[in-house]
Structures are given as structure tokens and as C-alpha cells.
Structure 1
Amino acid sequence: MSTNNMHNTHISTQIRQVHGAVSDIVAVMNSPQRDESMVKEAGIPLDRALFPLLVGIERNGPIGVTDLADMVGRDHTTVSRQVAKLDELGLVERQASAKDGRVRHAVVTPKGKEMTDLVDIARDKMGRAILETWDPVEISELVRLIRKLADGVKGLNSGTARR
């Protein structure tokens, strides 16, 4: 077996390991129990099904329902109803798109931003508990590498990743 084939086998094994680790993280982050615990930790009166949408709108808004549905992996019609509920609660509002007035984008309101700020505090507390035994250099390296991975994945999805 050539050195190149051994190297490729090693990389393939590592890619499987990275995929497994990222899949584990995504499974936890997407679990209803995690959303419930985050809502509880933040002390906010919000249905756990609405929680990821509010955060997604705050982080990525203004955003259309179709893009939001793709981002959270839910059906467009379900997300549309849930965004309407967030609107009723005064947490988001819908605005006409600057590019196309027929398209409505969701944006977080000041009341919604207050709620996501409480979520950020809860997320920080939970994250600190996970990383409390890590060396600061390890944390910095994790942040750098996870950002690099995320950028690569985003580039692959947009067709701009190097081949």
C-alpha cells in the first residue's frame, strides 16, 4: 500500500470522527429537551418550539420564512404559523423586503431582543460549565477550528469551497 493511500485512509477515518462528533453536537442542540432546558435556564416564558425560531431571527434577521425554515429544518408552513405566533407575542415583526416589497421578512423587536439576551446569558453559563476544565489555549483553538470548519461547510454549500 502506498504512503498516499495510507494518508487518505487516515484522513477518511478522521473525517468520519469529525462527522460523528458534529452529529452528536447537532443532535443535542436540536433536541426539544435542550430547548426546554435553555428556556428554563433563561427564565423566559416561551414555548420551546418557538425558541429556535426567535433566536434564528435575532441572529440572521431580517429573514424570510423559507430561509428560516431551511435553517431550522422545518416545514415552511409550520414555520410561517410559528413566526405569526412570535409576531402576536410582540417578539418579532414582519417587514417588507427592501429588494421585493411582496416578500415579508421577520425581524426581532426590542422585546424579542431582551428575550434572546437572556438566552445568551443562559447559553454562556451552560457553555462555561462545559469548558471550565479546559485550558484557555484549547478554547481559543476550538473556536478557531470550529469557525474554520463552519466556513468550509458554508463554502461547500454555496459552491465556493476549494476542491
Structure 2
Amino acid sequence: MTTNSPDMPANVPESIGLLLHDTARAFRYRFDARARGLGVTRQQWRALFHISRNEGLNQAELADRLEVERITLCRMVDRLAEAGLVERRADPRDRRVWRLHLLPAAHAIVDRLEALGKEVEGEVLATLTKDERNQLVDSLERLREALREKDGRPGDARKQVA
């Protein structure tokens, strides 16, 4: 849709949010199609990815990052533990808290997921020039930071994974 408001340039779609959402969904679909053979669901690979970047985070922190209910995450971690991918370790300071750590089999899956992500990203971004890619990344980072600031969420979002 290209209906524009008076203060928006004619070449900018009115719903940038929808465009970003649709683009992200297309990325996920393409990635999921390739990741299916690894034997983990989208939520499971997202969990593995977050744990790999933040070894030792607790279940509540992971639930927040994945934006799922804690009971949902608990069941997911149960399945990952049964599959020999994740282990829970007691927190040395609070025995009510479980810290999550990847087991060796999960590291191989995370490595493959990262390679798949780079492949998909490379294929898609090949349609842009190097300058366009750099500009896209810069623009998206600025938009993300502006949204985080407006939501009152401090910190560098680049350190977190979606």
C-alpha cells in the first residue's frame, strides 16, 4: 500500500511496520524451511540460540527474552533436556533458581543454525549493493534504538538476539 500522509514522502509505504513484519516473517519462513532437518522447532532453536549467547541465564530470563510464559518455557526446557541438548544447573546463590547450559550436542546445532542464518541472509541481501546493505543496517539499528528509548527500555539491543 502506498497511500501516504501529507508529511510522508511519496516513495515510503505508509505502513513501515507492516513491511518490516512481512519481511521478518519471510526471513523466518525461509530459515525455518532450512532448519527443519535439524530436529528442533523454531522456539527450541531460538532458546538454544539465546542460551548459547548467555550461558547460565535462568529460566525466567529466557522466558522473558523469548516472550513466552514461564510454564511454556519450562516444558520446552524439559524437552531440550530430554533430547540431551540443555542441562539445568542449580544456582550457587539461590537453590530455587536453575541456570541453563548447553550440552555438546547443542553446540553443533547452534553452529549449523548460525551457518544457515548467514546463508539465508547472504542470499536475500545479495539483491542490495554493499552501500545499500550498510544503510539498511544503520537505519534499522537507529529505528530499533529509537523504539527502545521511547519504550523506556535502556541498553544496547544489539547485544540481544531476537
Segments of structure 1 that go 5 or more residues without pairing to the other structure are 1-5
Instruction: Say if 2:88 is the partner of 1:90.
Output: no
CA distance in 1, matches of 2:42, 2:66: 13
TM-score (norm 1): 0.71
**Corresponding residue for residue 8 of structure 2:** 10
Contact 1:38 1:123 in 2 (8 A): no
Shift of 1:25: 3.4
1:46 alignment counterpart: 40
Percentage of identical aligned residues:
22
Given the superposition, is the C-alpha separation of residues 36 and 130 from structure 1 closer, same or farther in structure 2, using an over 3 Å criterion? closer
Structure 2: give runs of 5+ residues left out of the alignment. 1-5, 156-162
TM-score of the pair, normalised by structure 2: 0.71
- Give, in angstroms, the shift of residue 53 of structure 1: 1.8
Residue 81 of structure 1 corresponds to: 75
Say whether the 8 Å CA contact 1:35–1:51 is kept in structure 2. Answer: no
Secondary structure of 1:67 counterpart: helix
In proportion to residue count, which structure has more helix? 1
RMSD: 3.1
Contact 1:28 1:34 in 2 (8 A): yes
Q: Distance in 2 between matches of 1:36 and 1:86?
A: 18
